[in-house]
Amino acid sequence: ARGRPDDLATIIYTSGTTGEPKGVMLTHDNFVSDIHSITNGLPILSSDVSLSVLPLSHIFERTVFYVFCFNGVSVNYAASFELVGEYLREVKPTIMTAVPRLFEKVYHRIIKKGMSAGGLKSRIFARSLAVGQRVAELEDKKQRVPLSLKLRHAVADHLVFRKWREGIGGRLRYFVSGGAPLSPTLSYSFLGAGIKILQGYGMTETCIVCANRPADNRVGSIGKPFEGIEVKIAADGEMLVRGPNVMRGYYGHPNATQSVMTNDGWLATGDVGYIDDDGHLFLTDRKKDLFKLSNGKYVAPQLIESLLKQSEFVNQVVVVGASRKFPVALIVPDWEALKHALRAAGKNAGETHAEISRNAAAIKMVQRDVTAMTAQLADYERVRRVALLADEFTIDSGELTPTLKVKRSVIDERYGKLIDDLYRST
C-alpha cells in the first residue's frame, strides 16, 4: 500500500530526565513539514559540509540529518566526542549542530591555552577576549560600537580570533546549538571571535520548533518559530506548541498523551519561558526542574548552572535545594585550572581528585568564585554552599542522558547524603 503523510515514521524514546522514558510516535508529515520549515528559515547550501557529533537517536540530530540530506549537504560523522577538535580541523565544516557541552569544552580549552601562555601573550589574549565580548554585546543589543573599540577589535581579531576560527576549520558560517541553555558569556565570546552560535529549541514530541537566524540572532533567546509552527505562553508561563511538527502521541500511553495535548492541538512542552516584544522566545527552565525553597520562593536551577559554568573552576555543576533554605551546588571542577590557582596561592591541596575535592582551601576557592558569580542574582537564588566531586557525570555512570543532559533524580539519589551534609554545615 502507498504510504500516507500521517503514517508512523518512527518511535523515539524520551531521555528520561524527569521520569520513565516514553515512546514518541512521529509521522512522516511531522518530519517533512519540519524539513521544509527549517529549509525556508535557515540558509543551507548544497555545498555545505557538516560534522555530526550527536547520536541519531536524538531528535535534534535526526531532524537536522534529514534537513541536510534534503538540501544536499555533505555530512561527516565524528567517531568520538572527545576528539571533536581533531575532526573539526580535518573536516572543516561550514555548518554544524551541537549541544552546549561541546561549546563549553572548546571554550575552556581555549581559555586555558590563552591564559597559560604567560607574560605579554596572556595579557593580549585577556584584553582581546574582553574587547570581543564587549563588541558582541553592543551589537546584540543594537547599540553603537565606538570607532576606538572597532579598531581594538580588528587588532584582536588579527592577533587572536582568527586562530580560533582556524582551530575549527576556518570555514564555519554558523553553529546551531540545542538541548540546553548556552551561557551569554560563552555566546558573546564566540560571537566576538567571529563564530556565530544560533540557539534553537525542540523536543522529541515536536521535532525542531524554533531557532535564531544568522541575520536575527538574539543572545539568550531560542529564536523565533519556524514557518507553520505556533508558540504561545500559558498563564503559568509554560510554553505551548502547535503545528504539523507535533507528535501523534506516546506509544501505548494514551493517558500520558492526553495529559500533554489539548483538544485543539496544543502540546504542553513542560518548559517555562516568555516571548519578548520582537517575538523572540526565551526559556527559563524545565517546569519539573523548578524547585521551591522552604520560604516559598521558586528557583530555576538551569539559569544558575549556566551562570556558574562561566567560572574557570567549573567543569560540570548541578544546583539543588528543593524544600531547603537556599540553593547549593555539586561541582565537578576543572582540575587543571583549580590546581594551577591553588599552586599560585601557595596551597597544597593534595594530588588526586579525591584529595583535592575534600580539601578546605580548594572548596573555599571555588566557593568564593561561585559567590561572585551569583552576586547578580536575587538573594534567595544565590548558591550558599558547594561540594566538589572527584568524578565526572557520565553517560556510562547513568548520570547523563545520551545527549549529555543531567538526570536530576539520579543525582539527588546518589548524592543525597552529601547534599544533607552541606545543609548541616550551616
pLDDT at 16 exceeding the cut of 70: no
Specify the CATH number for 8-101+177-285; select among 3.10.20.740, 3.40.50.2000, 3.40.50.1110, 3.40.50.12780.
3.40.50.12780
Q: What is the pLDDT of residue 17?
A: 62
- What value does the mean pLDDT take over residues 43-47? 97
By the 8 A CB rule, do 316 and 328 touch?
no
* DSSP classification of residue 382: S
Distance CA 192, CA 196 (A): 9
What are the start and end residues of each CATH 3.40.50.12780 domain in the chain? Answer: 8-101+177-285
- What value does the mean pLDDT take over residues 399-421? 90
pLDDT digits (tens, 9 = 90+) for 195-250: 999 999 999 999 999 999 999 999 999 999 999 999 999 999 999 999 999 999 99
pLDDT digits (tens, 9 = 90+) for 285-294: 888 888 999 9
pLDDT digits (tens, 9 = 90+) for 250-277: 999 999 999 999 999 999 999 999 999 9
pTM check: above 0.85: no
The three cell numbers locating residue 268: 504542553
Q: What phi and psi values does residue 57 have, to the nearest 5 degrees?
A: -75, -10
Looking at every residue in the chain, the average pLDDT score rounds to 93
- Give, in words, the CATH class of 291-424: alpha beta
Q: Which residues contact 377 (CB under 8 A, 6 or more apart)?
A: 304, 307
Closest CA to 99 of 36, 19, 15, 21: 15
pLDDT at 83 exceeding the cut of 90: no
pLDDT digits (tens, 9 = 90+) for 131-174: 999 999 999 999 999 999 999 999 999 999 999 999 999 999 99
The three cell numbers locating residue 403: 545527549
Look at residue 248 and give its three-state secondary structure. Answer: coil
Q: What is the pLDDT of residue 19?
A: 64
Q: Which residues contact 149 (CB under 8 A, 6 or more apart)?
A: 131, 134, 135, 138
What are the start and end residues of each CATH 3.30.300.30 domain in the chain? Answer: 291-424
Closest CA to 394 of 338, 332, 334: 332
> Which amino acid is it at 271?
D
Q: What is the pLDDT of residue 182?
A: 87
Q: What is the pLDDT of residue 21?
A: 83
> Which amino acid is it at 130?
A
The three cell numbers locating residue 15: 531521555
* DSSP classification of residue 380: G
pLDDT at 71 exceeding the cut of 70: yes
pLDDT at 279 exceeding the cut of 90: yes
Distance set, CA 365 to CA 344, 361, 425 (Å): 12, 6, 17
Look at residue 152 and give its three-state secondary structure. Answer: helix
Instruction: For residue 253, count other CB atoms closer than 10 A to its CB.
Output: 13
Instruction: For residue 159, count other CB atoms closer than 10 A to its CB.
Output: 14
| Length of the chain (residues) | 426
Pairing of strands 95-98, 230-233: unpaired
Let me know if 406 is exposed, middle or buried by CB neighbors in 10 A (0-12, 13-18, 19+): buried
